[in-house]
Amino acid sequence: MGKLGISIYPERSTFEKDKAYLDLAHKYGFKRVFTSLLQITEDKDKVLADFKKVVDYANSLDMEVMVDINPALFEQLGISYDDLSFFHEMGAHGVRLDIGFTGQEEAKMTRNPYGIKIEINMSTGTSYVDNIMSYSPNTDNLLGSHNFYPHRYSGLSYDHFVFCSEKFRKYNINTMAFVNSHDATFGPWPTQDGLCSLEDHRELEIATQVKHLMLTGLIDDVSVANAYASEAELKAMAEAFNAEYPSIKVDVAEDITEDERVVLFDNLHSYRGDRSEYILRSTMTRIYYKDRPFPAHNTRDMSKGDVLIDNVGYGQYKGETQIALKDMKNDGRVNVVGRISADELFLLDFLKPWSSFKLVENKK
């Protein structure tokens, strides 16, 4: 089972605020906590004390804290890759290497006596993970996570995200990506255009970002990168992440009938496997509701993303639900009852034949 996570930045906030946020995330079943040690400017002991306090509290909630570090930090703190006792004393579940070593060190780190997890950067697109694997690491202690990007337009492209993620998937290594909260106000750096792994996610609702990552089949865990996400966002993330089936938002037509609402929103839809390039068909609704009238209305021409129900003019197809995948002429036998909401239209490309999904009304 995948896990949800949050991020905290103790040096940019207060223990009380972090504690309240950890409590809130815990309430919604979040298990992972990402934090960063890349910004240390003060002395080691003070930083360790501040971090340890918040790490101890997260541990008391049975949450797992990953600490972001890089090789320069090892030098600054006077620690070495073959002695991870510093992180063990801190109570960390694992360390994330923002910048890696040569592969041999990472493999050795996975065999530390404390069982500390080693999380490596998934976003480089190099043979980094193959190189580590060639030194036979303990893969139970090896995880991958994508970077996050505070600078607008600097996030990963979808194609690069897939390319990088597949390198980890082939070794069955746990993968994680970050999503952006719109209510959060800070991350590890002063620049703040939101914080996410995929550039396409920057402006999307947090639930939509999560749905997309889940539908790719490439990501196990999802963490919100910036702090502090609102309770509504954490709840929406948890619902999207734990949903039995993906859901897609629909903007309903003004003249939608009560029967049509029932067809769309009270059913689990199944994408019929003998697929057409014009329509995604959910055929069972015509069987369930064969006795309802479905009179013709709103029979305009159709464009990609329109949600359709065949009307009485279509004989045995009456009551079948469809989603338009291309522009089509309407001869009067199809009711246009809504549209996939603009921000989730792209999710249609991720629904697979024979998969099941739900439609939910977009409450504006």
Q: What is the pLDDT of residues 169-222, one digit of tens each?
A: 999 999 999 999 999 999 988 888 999 999 999 999 999 999 999 999 999 999
How far apart, in whole angstroms, are the C-alpha atoms of residue 361 and residue 146? Answer: 32
CA atoms within 13 A on the CB side of 145: 32
| Alpha-helical regions (H) of 62-183 | 71-77, 85-90, 104-109, 128-133, 158-169
pLDDT digits (tens, 9 = 90+) for 302-334: 999 999 999 999 999 999 999 999 999 999 999
Which class would CATH give 4-243? alpha beta
Most distant pair of Cα atoms in the chain: their distance: 78
Q: How far apart are CA 188 and CA 200, in angstroms?
A: 21
Question: 39 pLDDT exceeds 70?
Answer: no
**Prior bond of 228 cis (ω within 30°):** yes
- Structure-block tokens of residue 302: 């159709």
Domain positions in the chain are 4-243, 248-361
Query: CA 8, CA 6: separation in Å to the nearest integer?
Result: 7
With H, G, I as helix, E, B as strand and everything else as coil, classify residue 34.
strand
Summarised one tens digit per residue, pLDDT across range 56-112 is 999 999 999 999 988 788 888 888 888 999 999 999 999 999 888 889 999 999 999
Task: Tell me if 290 sits within 8 A of 280, measured CB to CB.
Answer: no
SS3 content of the chain, % helix, strand, coil (to 5): 35, 20, 45
Rg over alpha carbons for the chain, rounded to the nearest Å, is: 24
**Chain position carrying tokens 């069987």:** 287
Percent of the residues in the chain that have a pLDDT greater than 90, as a whole number: 86
Enclosing H/E stretch for 7: strand 4-8
- Residue 7: name the closest of 65, 61, 47 by CA: 65
Domain 248-361, classified CATH 3.40.1190.10, yes or no: no
Task: Name the residue among 57, 112, 59 with its Cα closest to residue 83.
Answer: 112
Instruction: Look up residue 256 and give its amino acid.
Output: I
4-243 and 248-361: same fold?
A: no
pLDDT, mean of residues 336-361: 97
